[in-house]
Chains A and B, each alone.
Chain A
C-alpha cells in the first residue's frame, strides 16, 4: 500500500489509500484510452465529502456572521418559528458567503462521489470507513516528502514514459498535449506545491472520464506562506479578485461536438423527457395541495388591495392556472405569459384596452394608453380586472419602464395582480417607490415542477432551435409589411434556398438584389430598396456583410428549413 496526500482547497488534508495495483491499472488504462470510468470510480476508496465548506469556522467570518445574526435577530427572524418558509432553514451566511476557488476537476470528483453514495444515508457509512484518515493540518514538508515517495514509486512502476515525465517534471508538459488549457498557463516557482497539486490531479483523473487525459499545471498564485496567512477576510477578497480579474479560467477544452449527442431539438427533448417518470410525485402533490388551500386567502387579499407575488423553486405556472380555473372563472382576467419572447408592456396594455375595455382607438404612446386605462378604471369602480402574470421577471418585462407601468396598473384599486417570479435577483427590479406601487404580499410556493413552458422559448444552450418559433415570428412580422416588401423578402428567400448546397454562399449582393427587384417591379430606385432593407434589418430579418470585394451581401439568418416552410405557407395562403 502506498499513501497519497490530497490537499484540498478547504485546507483540509485527507489521506487516501490506493492500492498499487489500482494505480497501475489506472495508468495503463489511461494510456490505452479505454473507457472504464465506472469501474475506476468504484475502485477508488471513498473520500470524505468535499462539498464546499461554509466559511463560518473562520474567526473573522465569525464576527461577520455574528453581526449578521444580530441584525437578523433585530429583524425578529426566529429560525424556529417559521416552518413553512424555506428562508428560515439556512441562515444568510451560507447564501452570501464567498466561495473558494474551484478547480475544474472538482465537479467530476463530486459527481463520482454523489454517484457512489448509496441510496440511503451515506454519512454514516462514510464515517465508519476505517480507511479514511483525516489529518486536519499537515505541514508542507510532509506532503512534499510523500510526493517524492510517490515519484519514486512511479519510476519503479512500469508506467509509460510520457506520463512519468509529467509526474516528475510537472511543468514540462506541452500545451498541445494537454486538453486543459488556460489562456496563459502560469509557471510558478512553488515547486512543492505544484507537485502536490499535480499528484492531486493524477488521483483525480481516475475519476474523471478517461477522455480527459492530460493535466496542466494549475494556476496557483498563492505561495505556501501566503496560504498559511491567517488573515482570512483579506484572503477572501483576494480570492474574489483573483478569480474575477484575470481572464484565465481553467476548464477543459472539450466541446460538445465530440459527443455523439450534441443538440436536441425542442420536440425530441420533450419526447425524451416525457419518458422520465417524475420522482417524488406524492410529495409534490402534497406541496401543491398545500398551496391550493391558499387560493381563497389570496382572493381575499387581492380584493383588499394587496397584490400577490409567488416565489420559490419550480414552475408556478400550473399553480396559477389552477388558481385561475378554480376561482377566477367568473371574473374578467388577463393572463400574461411573461416568458413569451414577444411579450411587451404594450401588448399587455393593448389587450386591456381592446379586449377588456373594448376600445378601438389607438394611442400616441404607452404612457397615454396607461393614463387612459387608469382614468377608465378610476371612473368606473364597478370595473374589475385580474392580471395574472407568469414570470414578471422575464427578459421582456424586467425593464424599469415596464415595471413602472405594471406597478401603476397594479396600484389601482380595481386591478388585482397576481404574479410569479423565478429569477434569483428578481426583487432587485423594484425600488422602494415601485414596491409601494405593487404593495406585494410574498408567498413562497416551491413546487419543484419543471419549467417546461418557461424554458421552451429560451434560446437554450443545448437545444437546437427547431424553427417553430422563428417561423411564427417571421409570419408575424411579414404580415405587417406591404405586399411589395413581402415580395422583396420572398425574392431573397428564394435566392437563398437556391443556393442551399453552395457552401461558399455568403449572400446576395446588393446590386444583384436590386436588379432582381427592379425586374420584378418591386422597387423603382435603390433608395427605396435601401429603406426597405433598413426595415428588415430592424426586425432582424436580414444581416448584411461586407464581402472581400467590399460589396454588401445580404443574408437571412434563419435556417433553411424554416425558410422553405415559410414559402410553402405563403403559397398556400395566396
Chain B
C-alpha cells in the first residue's frame, strides 16, 4: 500500500488538446441538459396529475388510506436515480419541503427504516429553517418511533406556520400542513414485512402525520399486490403513473442531439447502430447511451485532427483562418476532399493543392455546403419519416432512427424497402395523405432555408389542390347527375351510352384527378429524397463531423475480457508477432509462453487435474522446446528451473480463475471452467 501525496498540481494537457477539451464538456453539458429537460417535462406531466389527485385524496385521509403513487419506471434501473432526483426537486418546489427517498438496501428492518426516515426528514427540516446543528445531533440518536415522528411533525408545522406568510412560500401556501412525501425508490427489493408493517403503522398515524407514498416500480404494477396482502393494500389508495418508455426517451435524445444542425457532431451509420443496439439489447439505459455518445465525441476530437473544425459554422470559419500548414495538408489528404478535387477543373485543382489561401476559402464554402446539406437532410428525413411511419408493415422502420440508419448507410432509393414503401404510398387514401402533407408542411415551414422554402410552398400548393379536388369533384358529380337525369333515350342508346361511359371510366380511372395528384406528390417526395438524402460519404469534408470508428466504441464500451483472455492463451501469435509462434488453428507451438502451454495442457483434463501429471507434461513440452540451446546448464538445475516455471504458470492460472486447489484428492487442482475457455 503506497500512498503518495505530492503537492497539489493540475496536470496540464498539451496546448493543442486544450481547445478540444473545452468544447467537449460544453457539449456534454448540453447533452445532459437536453436529457434532463425531457425528463422534467415528463415529470411535470405525471406530477400535475399527481397533484390534482392528491388534492382529491384529502377527504380520504380520514379514511385511513394512504395516498400512494405507483410510478412505473421500466427496467432501465440505472436511469432511475436521475428521475428520482428531479422528482424530488420538483416535489420540494411544488408540494412539500418534506421529501424523503429511501432505498431498499438501507432498510433491512423496521428500525433502520424509521431511522433513515427520521434522519432524512430532519435534514429536510434543517435545510428549510436556519441550521440548528446542535439540536440535530441530539435528535439523531433518540429512539425513533412513529409517535415521536408525529409529535415532531406537529412541532415543526406549528413552528413553521407563523413563518410561512413572511417567507411567502408558494409551495406550502397550498397546504396548511404540508404532507411528508416518502419515495421508495426500488419497491421490489424491499422486504415484504418492513413494507407491510410500515404501512399499517403509518395508516394508524395518518391523521397526525400526513404521508404520501411514492413507489418506484421497475417491473409491473402487479408487484404491489404480490408484495402486500389485501389487508395491507386496502390501506393504500393507489394511483398508477406510467413513465415514458425508455425507447421514447431514446427517440427524444436522438431527435434533439443528432437530427439537428445545432450540434455539428454526427455519428456514422455503424456507430449509431452499435449505440442503439447496446441500448436495445443490453440495458435500455439512456445514461449508457449518453455515455456512448460522450465517448464517441471524445474519441472523435481526440483522434481526428481536423475535428477542430467540428463546431458551429461561424466559429469554424474563424478557425479556418488559423489552420496551420500541417492541418491544410491533412485536409488535402482527406479522401472525400481528394474526390472533390478530382472533379474540379485542372487549374482549380492546382490551386487547391498549392495555394493555402485558396484552399481555406474553398474549405469555408465546403463547410457551409455541409451545413446546408445537413439542414436539408434532416428536414427531408423527417418529412420522409412522416410518410413511411404510418405505412403497413413499416418497410422503412417505425422509428426515425431506423430510417436515419438506412439513409446514412447507402442511397436509400436503391433499397427494396424504399421501392415498396413508395408503392404503398401510391395507395394512400386522400385524408391520410393530406394529414401527412400538413405535417410535412409544418416541418418545412419551420425553417428559413431558401431552397426548401420553395418546397414548403409546393406542399402548400398540393394541399390547396387537394382541397380544390374536393370541391371540383362535388361540382362534377352534381353536373353529371343533372345531365343524366334530363336525357331521354331508348334502350339501344342507353346501352350504347352505358358502354361508352364504362369505357370512359376505365380510361378515366387511371387519371382521376386525385390519383394524378397523388402520383405527383409521391414523385415529388421521391425527387426530394433523391436530391437531399444523399449519404454523407458523398459530401466533401464529411470526415470533419462524422465519427466513424465503430470498433473502438465497441472495444471500450462493450468489451469482452473473456474472449481476450482466451485469444491470448490460445493464440499468442495474435499479440506477439513472432514467426516462431505462428501455428495452425487450435494448436500451440512449444516455444509459446509458459502459461499458454500450461493452459493448453489443462484443457485436456476433466474436472480434476493431477499436478504431477501436469508438471511432467509441462516439462516434456518445455524441454523439447529448449533442446536446441540446452546442455549449458546441468540437467538437474534445468529441471529445477522448469519446475519453477511450472509453478509460476499454475499459480497464474489460479489467479486468472481457471483452476483452484481442491481437497478431493491430494495434489490435485479442480478446473473451474467448462469448455474451451
Which A positions have Cβ atoms within 8 angstroms of B?
37, 41, 49, 51-54, 71, 74-78, 81-82, 84-90, 92, 94-99, 101-104, 106-112, 114-117, 119-123, 209, 240, 243-244, 247, 249-259, 261, 264, 268-269, 272-273, 275-276, 279-280, 282-284, 286-287, 296-297, 299-301, 303-306, 311-314, 327-337, 340, 343, 347, 351, 355-356, 382, 384, 421-427, 432-433, 435-436, 439, 441-444, 446, 448, 450-451, 454-455, 458-463
Contacts and interface: CB of A to CB of B under 8 A. Distances in A.
A76 B621 CA distance: 40
Nearest to A337: B1
Nearest to A110: B604
A114 B596 CA distance: 12
Contacts of B615: 259
A282 B651 CA distance: 25
B587 A122 contact: yes
A269 B281 CA distance: 48
Contacts of B628: 119
Nearest to B558: A75
Interface string B1-17: 11111111111011001
21 contacts: A49-B587, A74-B277, A87-B567, A89-B571, A92-B560, A104-B610, A119-B589, A122-B589, A256-B667, A261-B643, A276-B645, A286-B577, A299-B11, A303-B21, A304-B21, A304-B24, A329-B6, A333-B4, A335-B4, A384-B8, A461-B669
B295 A114 contact: no
B674 interface: yes
A190 B454 CA distance: 87
B639 interface: yes
Interface string B580-622: 1111101111110101010011111111111111111110110
A114 B590 contact: yes
Given A96-B677, A117-B589, A446-B568, A106 B604 contact: yes
Chain B interface, >50% SS class: helix
B335 interface: no
B582 A461 contact: no
B11 A243 contact: no
B576 interface: yes
A259 B612 contact: yes
Given A75-B277, A461-B654, A86 B612 contact: no
B561 A96 contact: no
Nearest to A85: B555
B126 interface: no
B675 interface: yes
Given A96-B677, A343-B1, A304 B294 contact: yes
Closest 7 CB pairs of A and B: A111-B617, A115-B624, A442-B559, A313-B568, A272-B644, A106-B604, A86-B567
B44 interface: no
B283 A432 contact: yes
B509 interface: no
B610 A462 contact: no
A77 B661 CA distance: 37
B555 A335 contact: no
B651 A272 contact: no
A436 B285 contact: yes
B666 interface: yes
B650 A462 contact: yes
B49 interface: no
Contacts of A253: 610, 665
Nearest to B661: A461
Contacts of B486: none
B665 A334 contact: no
The residue in B564, B628, B656 that gathers the most chain A C-beta atoms within 10 A of its C-beta is B564
A435 to B, nearest CB: 8
B567 A90 contact: yes
Given A251-B613, A280-B578, 4 more contacts: A78-B551, A343-B1, A448-B568, A448-B572
B570 to A, nearest CB: 7
